[in-house]
Chain A
Amino acid sequence: MDTKADYYNRYFAAMYDTDRDAAMGIIQSALDDGSLTAEELLIDVISPSILKLEHDMVQEKKATLAQHYICSKISSEMTDWLLEQVDRKIMNKGVVILGTAFGDFHGLGKKIVGCVLNSNLYRVIDIGVNVSPETFVDTAVKNNARIIGVSSMMIHTAIGEEGARGVCSELERRGLRDKIKVIVGGAPFRFDDQLYKQTGADGWSPDAIEAVKVVDRLMKEKANV
């Protein structure tokens, strides 16, 4: 087995067991013995591991959501740690602002998505729960973000004026709608794949794997503008 595959398998097993210390030990040993660089660990070990876990949970029904949450936190922590050792400009795919819609206090799904995006080298700024449209837009402008992600667990916050719809209106009002893309996620959107259109958002995702794909796509679209 080659070195990358060996480290990937060992790291994945440790992360899957939600053993943060073991996961960190494996990454540290790869760095210490010079087997892999921080860049290689990020691209070939951390990112594919969390995506495989997501696949196991969503497609294979092997992992639980609680496990996925803990694993995504481990993965995000490892990413932040490794990013301290690399050229951030090269390893940063862009800034994404994440938050839960105003009036909604559910933050779990958003946190998982944030950790998985972070593990895929996006700089994620999580602005918490119960966030007003103005705060979403202010934070995006301040941090030069190209994507705003609005999470909602309840239908009235998903399609209400203070949720993603309000974020889109606020961007419009400030003349930023073509510069900053908006994505949505959360339980109500999983029940109706057309629901995101009611909010005016540019895309939606049912899970963290898809979130990475949607953000990748929107970033490319943005780059081509």
Chain B
Amino acid sequence: MSSARQRFGDLMSGQLPDRVPVVCNLLEQGAKEMGMSIKDYYSKGENVAYGQIRLIEKYGHDVAWAFHYTASDAEMLGSKKSIFPDDGPPNVGHLIIKSIEDIHKLKIDSRIFNTKSHQELLKTIDILKTELGKEYPILSAVVGSYSMPAILMGIEKWMELLFTPQAGEAVNLLYEKCSQFVNLRCQALLEAGVDMIIYNNPLASAAFITADEFKKKALPWIHKDVQTTGTAGMVYFNGGGEINPMLPALVEHSGFGAFYINPMDDIREAKQIVNGKGLVAAPINDIKLLRFNEEEVKNEVERIISEGKEGGGFIFGTLVMPYGIPEHTIRSMINVAKQAGQY
């Protein structure tokens, strides 16, 4: 049996692995494993690292997450408050851009690396590399520049700005600054030893824009975001919306080698569009895992794997697993995926 790292290595080199790899996006669940609140959990990088280690020991999935929470990107740029619920991901509690002037004032430089958010994340990466790195690939995540303004100024204000005729220059300036940030972040993550970066771009999904708009407006920023690092190890993530309509342009023009579709995307269609030019990761609709019984879990996992497994180049995944999914359901899902995913 291959290690998880070998499994991904085989997949990325175009070979058939021993089985379909299983990506399970367990994040805040680490706090439960460590017996602490979500706020305490994220206050120290070592908490997250050891939480991830315990989760892998418990469930046996194939990747470790060196990622804290999306709002920490905003913290690196000066957001003074994140809101930590008891049972879900933290939220941005302080929007740093309230006016066009704030966009001009926003500075993107290496000072982001001195922030506590970044330093704690480096600790997580370091521990995970030492403890699990030989056996498991380490994942982290960034928000694409096309979507990032929403966490800096709030989505409504951002959308209003997009349609303010005289604000074109400010809009482009903010995209530019966000892209500089993404370049710096990706470079720092890869240098720290992360194997794969999930590139999260929710505002570029079909939930927000049309395929034509995507090509015209989002794709150029995707290119810019990976100018420094290139696309090796980058995984394009749906961010909660369908991306099959965007896949033809992504596959042809983005340079990304892996596409993490949405549960509402058709898996066979995605594989057909990608056509061997990259990997397809297809997630289970994990909101339904809150209520699914064992048989429903089994049926759904087997369906996903049967639709994507043939010919290789396929990963079974989840979205952002809700905190309330019962442990036995998580175990069931992963065990069935491992069984059904055998080649």
Report the nearest B residue to A70, measured CB to CB. Answer: B163
Q: How far does the Cβ of A142 sit from chain B's closest Cβ, in whole Å? A: 26
Is the C-beta of B51 less than 8 angstroms from some C-beta in chain A? no
Q: Is the CB of B91 within 8 A of A105?
A: yes
Q: Mark B321-342, 1 if CB is under 8 A from A, else 0.
A: 0111000000000000000000
Q: Is the CB of B85 within 8 A of A156?
A: yes
Q: Is the CB of A61 within 8 A of B287?
A: no
Binds B, one of A31-39, A85-93, A131-139, A184-192: A184-192
Report the nearest B residue to A187, measured CB to CB. Answer: B240
Within 8 A of A (CB), among B135-174: 155-156, 159-160, 162-163
Report the nearest B residue to A74, measured CB to CB. Answer: B163
Is the C-beta of A63 less than 8 angstroms from some C-beta in chain B? yes
How far is B322's CA from A14's CA once the two chains are assembled, in angstroms?
42
Is the C-beta of B88 less than 8 angstroms from some C-beta in chain A? yes
Q: Is the CB of A105 within 8 A of B88?
A: no
How far is B160's CA from A187's CA once the two chains are assembled, in angstroms?
21
Q: Is the CB of B160 within 8 A of A155?
A: no
Which residues of A sit under 8 angstroms from B213, Cβ to Cβ?
64
Q: Is the CB of B89 within 8 A of A198?
A: no
How far is B208's CA from A61's CA once the two chains are assembled, in angstroms?
10
Residue in A103, A106, A192 whose beta carbon sits within 8 Å of that of B287 in the complex: A192
Residue in B210, B263, B323 whose beta carbon sits within 8 Å of that of A63 in the complex: B210
Which residues of B sit under 8 angstroms from A111, Cβ to Cβ?
156
Q: Is the CB of A65 within 8 A of B88?
A: no
How far is B322's CA from A103's CA once the two chains are assembled, in angstroms?
15
Is the C-beta of B192 less than 8 angstroms from some C-beta in chain A? no
Residue in A106, A108, A159, A187 whose beta carbon sits within 8 Å of that of B290 in the complex: A159
How far is B162's CA from A108's CA once the two chains are assembled, in angstroms?
14
Q: Is the CB of B210 within 8 A of A155?
A: no
Q: Which of A18, A61, A155, A157 has the most CB of B within 10 A?
A: A155
Q: Is the CB of B209 within 8 A of A64?
A: yes
Residue in B89, B210, B245, B288 whose beta carbon sits within 8 Å of that of A191 in the complex: B288
Which residues of A sit under 8 angstroms from B240, Cβ to Cβ?
187
How far is B322's CA from A188's CA once the two chains are assembled, in angstroms?
10
Is the C-beta of A3 less than 8 angstroms from some C-beta in chain B? no
Q: How far does the Cβ of B92 sit from chain A's closest Cβ, in whole Å? A: 7
Is the C-beta of A8 less than 8 angstroms from some C-beta in chain B? no
Q: How far does the Cβ of B85 sit from chain A's closest Cβ, in whole Å? A: 5
Is the C-beta of B206 less than 8 angstroms from some C-beta in chain A? yes
Is the C-beta of A223 less than 8 angstroms from some C-beta in chain B? no
How far is B264's CA from A177's CA once the two chains are assembled, in angstroms?
35
Known: A157-B88, A195-B287. A103 touches B156 (CB 8 A): no
How far is B291's CA from A157's CA once the two chains are assembled, in angstroms?
16
Within 8 A of B (CB), among A45-101: 61-67, 69-70
Q: Is the CB of B156 within 8 A of A61?
A: no
Known: A108-B155, A157-B88, A187-B240. A65 touches B209 (CB 8 A): yes
Residue in A62, A69, A104, A159 whose beta carbon sits within 8 Å of that of B159 in the complex: A69
Contact residues on B (Cβ < 8 Å of other chain), bracket: 20 to 34
Q: Is the CB of A154 within 8 A of B89?
A: yes
Q: How far does the Cβ of A70 sit from chain B's closest Cβ, in whole Å? A: 5
Is the C-beta of B100 less than 8 angstroms from some C-beta in chain A? no
Q: How far does the Cβ of B3 sit from chain A's closest Cβ, in whole Å? A: 32
Is the C-beta of B254 less than 8 angstroms from some C-beta in chain A? no
How far is B89's CA from A156's CA once the two chains are assembled, in angstroms?
9
Q: Is the CB of A61 within 8 A of B83?
A: no
Is the C-beta of B231 less than 8 angstroms from some C-beta in chain A? no
Which residues of A sit under 8 angstroms from B160, Cβ to Cβ?
69-70
Within 8 A of B (CB), among A3-49: 18
Q: Is the CB of A61 within 8 A of B206?
A: yes
Q: Mark A119-148, 1 if CB is under 8 A from B, else 0.
A: 000000000000000000000000000000
Which residues of A sit under 8 angstroms from B159, Cβ to Cβ?
65-66, 69-70, 108
How far is B264's CA from A120's CA once the two chains are assembled, in angstroms?
30
Which residues of B sit under 8 angstroms from A160, Cβ to Cβ?
87
Report the nearest A residue to B28, measured CB to CB. Answer: A156
Within 8 A of A (CB), among B280-325: 285, 287-288, 290-291, 322-324
Is the C-beta of B207 less than 8 angstroms from some C-beta in chain A? yes
Within 8 A of B (CB), among A147-164: 154-157, 159-160
Which residues of B sit under 8 angstroms from A188, Cβ to Cβ?
287
Q: How far does the Cβ of B80 sit from chain A's closest Cβ, in whole Å? A: 15
Is the C-beta of A194 less than 8 angstroms from some C-beta in chain B? yes
Q: Mark A195-206, 1 if CB is under 8 A from B, else 0.
A: 100100000000
Q: Is the CB of A198 within 8 A of B291?
A: yes
Report the nearest A residue to B319, measured CB to CB. Answer: A191
Q: Is the CB of B285 within 8 A of A61?
A: no
Which residues of A sit under 8 angstroms from B290, Cβ to Cβ?
155, 159, 192, 195, 198
Please give me the 3 A-B residue pairs with the lowest Cβ-Cβ distance, nearest first.
A156-B88, A191-B287, A155-B322
| A-B residue pairs in contact (CB < 8 Å), sample of 14 | A61-B206, A64-B210, A65-B209, A66-B208, A103-B83, A103-B85, A105-B83, A108-B156, A111-B156, A155-B88, A155-B323, A187-B240, A192-B290, A198-B290
Task: Beyond the given A69-B160, A108-B155, please list 9 additional residue pairs across the A-B interface where CB-CB is below 8 A.
Answer: A64-B209, A64-B210, A66-B163, A66-B208, A103-B85, A111-B156, A188-B287, A191-B285, A192-B291
